[in-house]
Structure 1
Amino acid sequence: MAVGLFVGKRQSRPWIVSDELWSLIEPLLPSPGPNLMEGRLRVPDRQALGGILFVLHTGIQWEYLPQELGFGSGMTCWRRLAAWNEAGVELHLVLLKKLRAAGKLDWSRAVIDSSHVRAARHGPKGGPSPVDRARPGSRHHVLTDGQGIPLAVSLTGGNRNDVTQLLQLLDKVPTVAGVVGRPRRRPDALLADRGYDHDKYRRLLWQRGIRPVIAERGVENGSGLGVFRWVVERTIAWLHGFRRLRIRWERRDDIHEAFLGLATCLITHRHVQRLR
């Protein structure tokens, strides 16, 4: 599941799950497991999702989740998020299919970039950040289409070089159907800044049928790619508009990745809403 992005229409309470979004999510969720607390009713999935969204939007710690809003306990919402992430709920793919069916995915080029986030504690996919005095940190890697619609995101340690994640991120792009003909998952070209400047990866992109458009180090006048690359920077800004993603609070990498994926879905859902 993945500034100013709300579930449903723009509203002052973005954690409220709209009927339209719930109709997309509900069929994808795994069947409820056995009730762990005998004699206590299971918190409905829609309410638990509201609690997860509350944490994602506000950045509040799980133990302080307001009980009076009807979400259930923070631990209940945490367990539900972990279970859905493990089950591989593919909401992002459903949304991308809707966009492709409407002709709104720009496969002519994709844009890649990353951003550092500080980690509150050590954990997997963390590491000393070269941009934050070697403090613990992680990196959010983002690949978008030509308009800035997120195609794939990933989490690595703060000390990982951007270019090492280029192919891994491309491999995470799902195969998107939605129109007559072959499903698609590869852009025609890939745009990147100097952090991805490496002849080896240019060759590997050509082998995949993708034209590399990567800025070269040492070019004084700039590459001119900023005219096209700004869309991925905007998407990263949208991701970090979700307060829970500004700092990595989770020791477990899978939980932070679940939040990152959910925020990605919310951004993509905003583009789907524009189809109306």
Structure 2
Amino acid sequence: MWIRIEPLVPVVQCRYRHPGRRRLDDRQVLCGILFVLHTGIPWRFLPQELGFGSGMTCWRRLRDWNEAGVWQRLHELLLAELRTADMLDLSRAAVDSSHIRAMKSGRPTGPSPVDRGKTGSKHHVIVEAHGIPLATITTGGNRNDVTQLIPLIEAVPPIRGKRGQPLRRPRHLYADRGYDHDLYRDRVRRFEVTPHIARRGIEHGSGLGVYRWVVEGTIALLHWFRRLRIRWEIRDDIHHAFVTLGCALICWRRLKLSL
């Protein structure tokens, strides 16, 4: 994956008059970032004997690369490669969310829907037919799922990889009862997307779960990264950088199946 990341990393010009300390290799720093993402270890406890550098160095590089759009461009690049390999199906998509505990204050956090005395955040995810993540949004834990339905559709990037117009919108969208609102159904149709949303007040067994289960599997894969199970970051951009990187890693694992 480093072959794909390296061209995206901004080049830092060396200072010749006052060079200072030698800059740590970008690939080593990336390994440190991935180590924190996988294990959930605090930055200050990052083992320097493994060659990752200090935790603060990795944190700053994660911040700088996020501001330069490296993680988002990596995600889009891998989506394009998946489309080239015919492993992407935008005939339908599914959306869902998951609540995580936020140990510190910051934006966006909010009261937990199950324990108002604790703060939390929500990961809102949209996936294609096979569960490949297309976009994510992080909100406070008290935000209603349906309010993020339109932002999720708009957050899907143009997916290239083949000749012609890039793909941007799925043809069908599946969601559970938490998204049941006629106003938002009409808004979804304006994107030329057909909504399939379970109705409240009816018995279970609508049949939509056959298509919706993939998004629950993707959320479980995201939370397999220990840094995403509990939110430790105060800054929302740092947390979102981890989420985007996690989505890129899920795409990379799918892509490896075709290589």
So what's the TM-score if we normalise by structure 2?
0.96
Please tell me whether residue 40 in structure 1 is matched to residue 18 in structure 2.
no
| Paired letter, 2:109 | G
How many pairs were matched up?
A: 255
% of aligned pairs identical? 61
Measured in 1, the distance between the counterparts of 2:95 and 2:168 equals: 15
Measured in 2, the distance between the counterparts of 1:194 and 1:40 equals: 56
2:222 corresponding residue in structure 1: 239
| Paired letter, 2:251 | T
2:145 corresponding residue in structure 1: 162
| Paired letter, 2:255 | V
Post-superposition shift, 1:132?
A: 3.0
Aligned match of 1:121 in 81, 104, 109? Answer: 104
Deviates more, 1:105-114 or 1:174-183: 174-183
Gaps of at least 5 residues in structure 2 are none
Aligned match of 2:2 in 22, 26, 36? Answer: 22
Measured in 2, the distance between the counterparts of 1:207 and 1:63 equals: 48
| Paired letter, 1:48 | V
Measured in 1, the distance between the counterparts of 2:150 and 2:115 equals: 26
2:11 corresponding residue in structure 1: 31
Please tell me whether residue 190 in structure 1 is matched to residue 173 in structure 2.
yes
Taking a change above 3 Å as real, the CA distance of residues 221 and 39 of structure 1, as seen in their structure-2 partners, is closer
Taking a change above 3 Å as real, the CA distance of residues 65 and 221 of structure 1, as seen in their structure-2 partners, is closer
| Paired letter, 1:160 | R
1:132 corresponding residue in structure 2: 115
Moved over 3 A (4+): none
Please tell me whether residue 66 in structure 1 is matched to residue 55 in structure 2.
no
Post-superposition shift, 1:47?
A: 0.4
Deviates more, 1:86-95 or 1:38-47: 38-47
Measured in 1, the distance between the counterparts of 2:208 and 2:14 equals: 53
Gaps of at least 5 residues in structure 1 are 1-20
Measured in 2, the distance between the counterparts of 1:61 and 1:46 equals: 20
Post-superposition shift, 1:34?
A: 5.6
Please tell me whether residue 54 in structure 1 is matched to residue 25 in structure 2.
no
Please tell me whether residue 82 in structure 1 is matched to residue 67 in structure 2.
no
Deviates more, 1:176-185 or 1:108-117: 176-185
Post-superposition shift, 1:205?
A: 1.0
1:252 corresponding residue in structure 2: 235
Post-superposition shift, 1:39?
A: 3.4
CA offsets 1:96-136 (integer angstroms, 9 cap, x no match): 10111122111110000000000001101001011233410
Alignment RMSD? 1.2
- SS of the counterpart of 2:106? coil
1:93 corresponding residue in structure 2: 76
- SS of the counterpart of 2:22? coil
Post-superposition shift, 1:52?
A: 0.4
Measured in 2, the distance between the counterparts of 1:101 and 1:38 equals: 43
- SS of the counterpart of 1:219? coil
Aligned match of 1:112 in 95, 101, 111? Answer: 95
1:11 corresponding residue in structure 2: none
- SS of the counterpart of 1:235? helix
1:16 corresponding residue in structure 2: none
Measured in 1, the distance between the counterparts of 2:213 and 2:204 equals: 18
- SS of the counterpart of 2:87? coil
Taking a change above 3 Å as real, the CA distance of residues 213 and 33 of structure 1, as seen in their structure-2 partners, is farther
Measured in 2, the distance between the counterparts of 1:34 and 1:211 equals: 53
